[in-house]
Amino acid sequence: MPGTRLAPFELQRLDGGRYQWKPGKTTIVTVIAYWCDTWKTQYQRLDATSKALRGLPFDSVAVSLDGRWTELAKAGTWGTLLTDPGGAWSKPLGIDRVPY
């Protein structure tokens, strides 16, 4: 999926609002599930990448497949937390594991 062009999508943000994405902006999209401890390593990588790219025109989003949040993730400075419980967005893309 790296480098793949995505169709426009809309998912729920942590604050309950809606996040709308459309082609035309560079976005790092990572798929996570908080039941899987790999998100802890991924979180550190996203944080380091965000700091290294600070000032460049890009967005970073993490999509939680299980719809859960953690306090550590809420405190992140690296991007926007989204949720896709049930996989309405991720399943049609063939995302079948985390992180992706």
- DSSP conformational letter for 41: H
pLDDT above 70 (res 91): yes
H or E, element range at 34: none
Q: 3-state DSSP call for residue 49?
A: helix
Given a contact cutoff of 8 angstroms between Cβ atoms, the answer to whether 63 and 32 are in contact is: yes
| Global pTM value | 0.77
Tens digits of residue pLDDT in 59-85: 888 888 876 666 556 656 667 888 887
pLDDT band at residue 18 under the 50/70/90 scheme? very high
Q: What is the pLDDT of residues 32-57, one digit of tens each?
A: 877 777 777 777 888 888 888 888 88
